[in-house]
Amino acid sequence: MPEGSWAAAPLERRDFLKTTVAGGVGLTLACGGEPGAGSEPGPGDGPEPGVDSNPPLLIDRASVFDVRTGRMQPEMSVLTRDGRIEAVAPAADLDSESDAAQGAIRVDGSGLFVLPGLIDAHVHLSHILYQSHMTGDEVLPFYLGHGVTTIRSTGDNVPAAWMVERLAIESPELSPNVFRCSFLIDGQPVWHPDVGWALTEPEEVAPFVADMAAWGVTTLKLYIGVEREVGRRVIEEGHEHGLVVSGHLLDYHTADAVEDGLDCVEHIYTVSNFLLDDPDDRHSINLDSDETKRLIDVIAENGARVDPTLMVFWGTLLFMDLPEVYDHPDQDRVPARLRAFWDADRERRKLDWGTAAVSVREETWQKYMRLTGMLHEAGVQLLVGTDAPEPQVAPGSSLHHEMEFLVEASMSESEVLMAATLENARILRQEENLGSVEPGRVADLVLLEADPLIDIRHTRRIRSVIHGGRLLDPATILGTAPTT
């Protein structure tokens, strides 16, 4: 997360990697020899998401969201087998009497709306949880219970995140698919000692990236203190290893980074921070300047994605001291340990972002929303991520809130749903497995009781979650999550 977040006394990152998996699963990892030596599976042996052997399911006569057209297809049936979607066809051609569906468990889809499993494109698996005395596995049911069948880490303690992924694989009835990220690649000193790694010379980059690839991460994350020479080398090396490179940037200009090949810009203020009339005033965003048009054009022309994470600006930074934010109903299920950290964090932020009048902060929020809409209108592909579990950004439920904000920012309901499914799968390079209701894809589905194309808030009305072909009850999943 951004400047002003929790920071601790500096740690030697190499020792940290060897002696702790803070925020992972409360275990100690010995790192002699190759990463993961003596463990099965190894950290570079990334799982095929969600696939398992389960009884076949037939979802009969539902409306199915087509991510290619953005429309609901009425009176459709979906057949799953061995954890994948076997067929999607009109109900007149595929029902419980069909030969293909013999032996399948029938789910009456009448009045239901089927989405691909939702994907949160920006979460943390050890950061913030470490400070809250929690482990990453504890929050996994919050995602799955809210229909989020896949999560993308955007910066964590690497061994910790690997252990969280292993637990997710072992408990698929409670856990989403987990895709991991590198440490936050920063300058010296690192901003977040619990998840940061300093790279200050270009020659340090190749061995670091090779090590991250060996750990099985899918994303490299550039952070605020990285300089262009190093950042450009990370992008080059990352792409050589087939990795996505994202950035939450400050010293490395966003325009330079996307021209150098950055795949994804994380946070809307990684755009707006380069559009300030006064560099010392985060609120002095000028969206009518020539520089604004130039920067948006550079992002669009280079095909970089932008993940606005509006939730973290609403919940953590701009309005953290307002009761309607910190007592929002989405916070009701949050464990007491996480809420306690959030409460302590709020007092710190009141002395930082909270020093501006609420009216000033509201104006900045509207600028963030307007800038999000401007990027979308310019043809920039937006992703849907939250930055959970940052303060007031509840794991799982916050993705629904983020989608609501994106609709407010000028995206249509269908565009938001396509972003939260297919486009989020693309940033993971998993579009052949995830993000659509199509034959051959992993059977990760969300069954809704109301049409989200009429009102995006209907994504909260979840009847069932199907994960890897398992038919799951969201209330049962959420009932396993911790409260203390």
3-class secondary-structure state, position 330: helix
Q: State how beta strands 305-307 and 244-247 pair.
A: unpaired
Average pLDDT for 387-395 = 98
Round to whole Å and give the CA distance between 447 and 112.
6
CATH topology identical between 57-116+436-479 and 131-427: no
Check: CB of residue 43 under 8 Å from CB of residue 214.
Answer: yes
Round to whole Å and give the CA distance between 26 and 24.
6
What's at 101, amino acid-wise? A
Where in the chain are the domains?
A: 57-116+436-479, 131-427
**CATH classification for the domain delimited by 57-116+436-479, as one of 2.60.120.200, 3.40.720.10, 2.30.40.10, 3.30.930.10:** 2.30.40.10
Average pLDDT for 182-197 = 97
Average pLDDT for 295-315 = 98
Indicate the average pLDDT of the chain: 91
Round to whole Å and give the CA distance between 387 and 180.
14
Report pLDDT for 49.
Answer: 64
3-class secondary-structure state, position 439: coil
87-144 pLDDT tens trace: 999 999 999 999 999 999 999 999 999 999 999 999 999 999 999 999 999 999 999 9
Q: Is residue 259 packed enough to be buried (19+ CB in 10 Å), middle (13-18) or exposed (0-12)?
A: middle
Average pLDDT for 399-411 = 98
Residue 44 predicted with pLDDT over 80? no
What's at 304, amino acid-wise? A
Check: CB of residue 21 under 8 Å from CB of residue 159.
Answer: yes
pTM score over 0.85:
yes
Check: CB of residue 364 under 8 Å from CB of residue 310.
Answer: no
Report pLDDT for 54.
Answer: 83
Task: List all residues 6 or more positions away from 267 whose beta carbon is below 8 Å from its beta carbon.
Answer: 2, 248, 307, 308, 309, 312, 313, 387
Report pLDDT for 39.
Answer: 37
What's at 54, amino acid-wise? N
Largest distance between two CA atoms of the chain: 68
Average pLDDT for 296-317 = 98
Residue 145 predicted with pLDDT over 90? yes
Residue 276 structure tokens: 């300030």
Check: CB of residue 267 under 8 Å from CB of residue 312.
Answer: yes
Report pLDDT for 83.
Answer: 97
Residue 29 predicted with pLDDT over 90? no
Residue 24 structure tokens: 């992972």
Residue 321 structure tokens: 């001291």
Tell me which CATH code domain 131-427 carries: 3.20.20.140
Check: CB of residue 137 under 8 Å from CB of residue 104.
Answer: no
3-class secondary-structure state, position 212: helix
- Assign 26 a pLDDT band (cuts: 50, 70, 90): very low
What are the φ/ψ torsions at residue 351 (nearest 5 degrees)? -90, 0
Which residues partner with 88 through β-bridges?
78
> Helices (DSSP H) in 48-195: which residue ranges?
140-145, 158-170
- Assign 22 a pLDDT band (cuts: 50, 70, 90): very low
> Helices (DSSP H) in 321-394: which residue ranges?
323-326, 336-349, 358-377
Kind and range of the H or E run holding 79: strand 71-81
